[in-house]
Amino acid sequence: MKYILALLSFFSFFTANAQLLTKTKNIFIVTIDGIRWQEIFKGADPAIINSKRYTSDVELSKLMYLDSTAGLSRKKLLPFFWNVLEHNGQLYGNRAYKNKVNVSNAYKFSYPGYNEMLTGYPDIYVSSNQKINDLNTNVLEYLNAFDEFKNKIAAFTSWNVLKYILNKDRNGLPIYSGYDSIDENNNLDLHIFNAAQENLVAEKKDTRLDALTFIAATEYIKINKPKVVFIGFGECDEDAHRGEYDQYLQHLNEDDKMIQQLWYFIQSTSEYKDKTTLIITTDHGRGRKFTKWLDHDALIKGSGDAWLAVIGPDTQPLGEIQMPQQLYQKQIASTIAGFLGFHFTANHPVAKSIDFKTVH
């Protein structure tokens, strides 16, 4: 009997730690800070875009981003989402169908959101946006412990606080946040980028221009071919807090175009083609009401409303999921590891992953 128990114990341990068989060998995670589900699934909000209080040039903004139906408006605003992801991936969070993605943390702003997303743990003690290192284990450093991913992980973020959330001091991963220079390693293109970034922007705030974040990421990816990449865009959230809806839409549209370029690069590069999963999501929602869309916190309804998009070789091309369902941001960390065939574990609780083959 003791031999049977020992055998069962071995198989239990092996099952928990064995690498699962998946087609995904690389994973890219892209976040767009503070984007409401309404803009993703319905396009530009007619009430807000028609308000001179929030839109500098109403007529031009409407020509660019508003159409006769929500379906047409969302295609205008997010052509990659609704011409590519809809046909080849999956999109979650359209509350018109009671399909929900929510944050689990109590605070509903950025640091707690990214902590939840990347560690799988909505830690009650992670309660501010201060530049302090996150003590929880994130999925990037978990993967970095395996030989397959060692020195093959990188992060590029517009918001400079993310290097603290990812705890670069602890894990030493190549994490470039805000206006950090990239390690050049005698590469001329990276040297040119660093010089340009230093000279182009006179006032370097906490959030770098998304275009610079994207250029930094893509140049690094072309040279180093990492297997796990995190890219965090941040300008939209800044625009919204200032009440600039036209700029919020403009930067969201630009982020969509950059994600399209990234996916084209992935699918036209032998190391990545048909072996890479792309996850796109946000760290929190925003207020639902006309006067509340600027902000988000525990007291503003809509702040916990999120969304999620996935495309890759292990994801069925089901498009927009139009059925009642509840997913949570805390499931993303395990999902990232799961796509690569691993069970994410840490010294804190970790939420279960999402199975995009059976979730429906």
Q: Which of 86, 77, 63, 36 is nearest to 254 (CA)?
A: 77
| pLDDT value of residue 20 | 67
Helices (H), 166-207: 168-171, 188-200
- Which phi and psi (to 5°) does residue 74 adopt? -70, -30
Question: Please, what is the angle between helix 245-267 and helix 70-77, to 10°?
Answer: 70
Predicted confidence at residue 21, as pLDDT, reads 82
How far apart, in Å, do the first and last CA atoms of the chain sit?
41
Please identify every stretch of the chain with a pLDDT value under 50, giving residue numbers as ranges: 1-18, 359-360
Closest C-alpha among 357, 356, 353 to residue 329: 353
Beta strands in 196-339 (DSSP E): 228-233, 276-281, 305-306, 308-311, 319-320, 325-328
pTM for this one?
A: 0.93
Count of beta carbons in the 10 Å neighbourhood of residue 273: 12
In the prediction, which pLDDT does 17 show? 46
Q: Is 288 exposed, middle or buried (0-12, 13-18, 19+ CB in 10 A)?
A: middle
Q: Which pLDDT tens digit goes with each residue over 19-74?
A: 568 999 999 999 999 999 999 999 999 999 999 999 999 999 999 999 999 999 99
Report the share of the chain in percent with pLDDT over 90. Answer: 91
User: What radius of gyration do the chain's Cα atoms show?
Assistant: 20
What is the domain partition of the chain in residue ranges? Answer: 28-339
Written as one string, the DSSP assignment of 274-286 is: TSEEEEEE-S---
177-200 b/e (C-beta count within 10 Å ≥ 16 → b):
bbbbebeeeeeeebeebbeebeee
H helices within 127-177, ranges in order? 139-144, 162-165, 168-171
Q: What is the CATH number of domain 28-339?
A: 3.40.720.10
In three-state secondary structure terms, 145 is coil
What pLDDT score does 357 carry? Answer: 65
